[in-house]
Structure 1
Amino acid sequence: MTEHKPTVLVAMSGGVDSSVTAALLVQEGYRVIGAMLRLWAAPGPQAENACCTLEAMDLARVVAQQLGIPFHTLDTEEVFRAQVVEPFLEAHAQALTPNPCLWCNRRVRWAHLLAFAEEMGADHIATGHYARLRRRPDGSVQLLRGLDEHKDQSYVLAMLPQAHLRRTLLPLGEYTKAEVRRLAAEFRLPVAQRPDSQDLCFLGGYDYRTFLERYRPELVQPGPILTRDGRRLGTHQGLAFYTIGQRRGLGVSAAEPLYVLAKDIGQNALIVGPARELGQRALEAYEVNWIAGQPPRSQTFRVQMKIRYKAHPAPATITLLNDHAFRAEFDEPLRDITPGQAAVLYQGEVCLGGGWIFHTE
């Protein structure tokens, strides 16, 4: 009797990571189907290494043909704009600094890939993220950091529910980026030397400032740059262009370096100060997603927390406010806790989940 080989729907982007993911699964004997999401992007000078462009779609199709797997494109432009781009713009209107990649993964990417997997009779979906999954005897799944600490992407997967992760495969979690590039060359994939995408996929090749000016011009309202005691130092170009802890590009001179401390929406003011005034010891987060499906049993517990994708984990004590909110108190002040970003919790290599930062002190 021939052993049943599970069917896997692989999210392809025309990049090296998703292409190697598909190649590895084919090599391991899975029945593989390739799929690419067509996401909305601003019409403009698309960057060479951007995902979701026509060039990227053509590359993904070529890779699929080379691997001998079917390839499909899924039109998710409208839902992506409604569920990711518009909330991104609205967050900036509230002086928040959002991370839309986490929204996309939960609201668009996994939801539509899983729905299409059902339609195609696929058992799993797979992506090229650098993170790992540990399957437990009771059928539940733990999300783990990728082995390549420089590429670990567990942070951007922290808002995925248990039900999504149970049907997910992450083949690259056991590899470094250098190893993946070598595999791409060994598989003779045409994307082996393609550079990684660096910017938000929907910017359309524009820089951050130009995108906001084009789609939310009302956000580009100059206002005062103030010290905490109200002394005016200059004029900012729009609160949306600045983030907590920023030093460069303020356009003011002082006896010592100045950093963004806060944004005052009421006054449309950017509050700045020296490094000694920068740093907060606590935050509160809401809309918390627990990877296990429920919060830890203990009301108070210790974690390592990342407050940005590229941030170093910081030791903190968590106090649960309810099942979907927590307060974090850090051992040492952090200089760039930013409302709108995700606060993601770890214990060792295990990602517990995360929530959205809405209050700091």
Structure 2
Amino acid sequence: MAEKVVVGMSGGVDSSVAAYLLKEAGYEVIGVTMQIWQEEDECSLEENGGCCGWSAVDDARKVARILDIPYYVMNFKREFKKEVMDYFVDEYLHGRTPNPCIACNRYVKWEALLKRSLDIGADYIATGHYAQVAKLTNGRYAIKNSVTAAKDQTYALYNLTQEQLAHTLMPVGAYTKDEIRAVAKQIGLPVADKKDSQEICFITDRDYASFIERETGETVPQGNFVDTAGRVIGRHRGITHYTVGQRRGLNLAAGRRVFVLEIRPETNEVVIGEGDEVFSHTVRANHLNFMGIEDIPIGDSMELTGKIRYGHKGARCIATRTGSDELVCQFPEPVRAVTPGQALVLYKDGYVAAGGTIR
């Protein structure tokens, strides 16, 4: 009997071709779209090809019909609200810059979807991520870089558990984007030329601060811009408008290029400094997840490659375990805009070794 796999179908070309590739490989494929949007009427406004709204459902259903696979919509509104949207708001209010896609991957796309999939007798779940799952010689599962660096999505998957990875398939990771689109055209999928989603799916206008105020029902108070010596140099619009490394939109008459160095929610201050001050050799992280390696014992160090944001190419670093839930990474070449709330993802030989949340 064929093994059964539930494919998370976003209505985009990647997950659609993932379903096709798995069916061709002999799996019993079931297509599922996760309904996560909170307000039904807002779904109809979605125009960016994202994975949240009803346009995604319509596209995924059409693809499932062409592939001749069963297709369902599963409601994950509650999980998405708690684990992604509420987390996003809370992080910004505490002066951090979260990555909601990482939270969605860990707690919605894998934890919640995998549980329901196993409950209905599936052996695996699969997605259209540009990454690969590998079992290493040490017996551990790890996310491996896809064949195309331009679309690599391993950074956003560092927080998956060994149990989740053991039940995960990622067929798209063995292809380039052009190859995936070519397959979609070859088999006549209507989403072959559909553009990729680029923004946070639940904030289509990029106005994070207004979203947070709508969610909380409260106005985030204005406060002071201060320099590194603590001198007040202006007024800011509220800490949710800013992130470390930001230069545009500060509206400061400094007479030179200045950047956000730090956000201090306890005093409602945003610290401003010069360009060279936005670089750092040291990155601290907690909420650790070990993937390709089982552990780094407290006090021990390991040379790895570290990425501090999705778009960071990665750089050599020395990771030292300094506590039960803390790593400190030293980068010989300083990295720009180390941002609390973002992920520090550590790689070894092309695999995700470990990761955590930047403090």
TM-score (norm: length of structure 1): 0.93
Equivalent residue, structure 2, for 1:339: 340
Deviations 1:130-173 (A, max 9, x none): 11122246753222111111111111110001110011011011
Does the 8 Å CA contact 2:292/2:352 hold for their aligned counterparts? no
Equivalent residue, structure 2, for 1:311: 312
Equivalent residue, structure 1, for 2:107: 107
1:38 counterpart = 2:39: no
CA deviation after TM superposition for structure 1 residue 204, in Å: 5.0
How far apart, CA to CA, are the structure 2 residues paired with 1:137 and 1:229? 52
**Per the alignment, do residues 293 and 319 of structure 1 end up closer, same or farther by CA in structure 2, a change over 3 Å counting?**
closer
CA deviation after TM superposition for structure 1 residue 213, in Å: 3.0
Q: How do residues 246-261 of structure 1 correspond to structure 2 at under 5 angstroms?
A: 246-261=246-261
Aligned residues: 355
Matching residue's letter, 2:182: R
CA deviation after TM superposition for structure 1 residue 348, in Å: 2.5
Equivalent residue, structure 2, for 1:75: 75
How far apart, CA to CA, are the structure 2 residues paired with 1:292 and 1:137? 10
CA deviation after TM superposition for structure 1 residue 268, in Å: 1.2
Does the 8 Å CA contact 1:41/1:203 hold for their aligned counterparts? no
Does the 8 Å CA contact 2:208/2:240 hold for their aligned counterparts? no
Q: How do residues 232-311 of structure 1 correspond to structure 2 at under 5 angstroms?
A: 232-292=232-292, 294-296=294-296, 299-311=300-312
Matching residue's letter, 2:152: D
How far apart, CA to CA, are the structure 2 residues paired with 1:249 and 1:175? 39
For structure 2, which runs of at least 5 residues remain unmatched after alignment?
none
How far apart, CA to CA, are the structure 2 residues paired with 1:266 and 1:168? 41
Equivalent residue, structure 1, for 2:177: 177
CA deviation after TM superposition for structure 1 residue 216, in Å: 3.2
How far apart, CA to CA, are the structure 2 residues paired with 1:205 and 1:30? 39
Matching residue's letter, 1:27: E
Higher mean Cα deviation, 140-149 or 198-207? 198-207
Deviations 1:331-360 (A, max 9, x none): 1222210111111000121111211111xx
1:328 counterpart = 2:325: no
CA deviation after TM superposition for structure 1 residue 194, in Å: 1.0
Higher mean Cα deviation, 131-140 or 50-59? 131-140
Equivalent residue, structure 1, for 2:210: 210
Say which SS state the counterpart of residue 150 (structure 2) adopts.
Answer: coil
Does the 8 Å CA contact 2:95/2:265 hold for their aligned counterparts? yes
Deviations 1:311-339 (A, max 9, x none): 12021111112453211111122221011
Does the 8 Å CA contact 2:293/2:353 hold for their aligned counterparts? no
Does the 8 Å CA contact 2:288/2:356 hold for their aligned counterparts? yes
Matching residue's letter, 1:168: T
Matching residue's letter, 1:93: L
Equivalent residue, structure 1, for 2:132: 132
Does the 8 Å CA contact 1:303/1:317 hold for their aligned counterparts? yes
How far apart, CA to CA, are the structure 2 residues paired with 1:229 and 1:139? 51
TM-score (norm: length of structure 2): 0.93
**Per the alignment, do residues 314 and 218 of structure 1 end up closer, same or farther by CA in structure 2, a change over 3 Å counting?**
farther
**Per the alignment, do residues 283 and 219 of structure 1 end up closer, same or farther by CA in structure 2, a change over 3 Å counting?**
farther
Matching residue's letter, 2:6: L
Equivalent residue, structure 1, for 2:354: 353
Higher mean Cα deviation, 66-75 or 218-227? 218-227
Deviations 1:79-129 (A, max 9, x none): 210121111111111101011111111112111221222233221111101
CA deviation after TM superposition for structure 1 residue 295, in Å: 0.7
Equivalent residue, structure 2, for 1:224: 224
For structure 1, which runs of at least 5 residues remain unmatched after alignment?
none
Equivalent residue, structure 2, for 1:29: 26
How far apart, CA to CA, are the structure 2 residues paired with 1:302 and 1:215? 42
Does the 8 Å CA contact 1:219/1:240 hold for their aligned counterparts? no
Report the identity percentage.
38
Matching residue's letter, 2:160: L
How far apart, CA to CA, are the structure 2 residues paired with 1:63 and 1:29? 18
Say which SS state the counterpart of residue 329 (structure 1) adopts.
Answer: strand
How far apart, CA to CA, are the structure 1 residues paired with 2:164 and 2:311? 24
How far apart, CA to CA, are the structure 2 residues paired with 1:344 and 1:87? 20
Say which SS state the counterpart of residue 345 (structure 2) adopts.
Answer: strand
CA deviation after TM superposition for structure 1 residue 234, in Å: 2.3
How far apart, CA to CA, are the structure 1 residues paired with 2:253 and 2:355? 38
Deviations 1:37-94 (A, max 9, x none): 1113466442331212111101101100110000111111012101211111111111
Higher mean Cα deviation, 69-78 or 327-336? 327-336
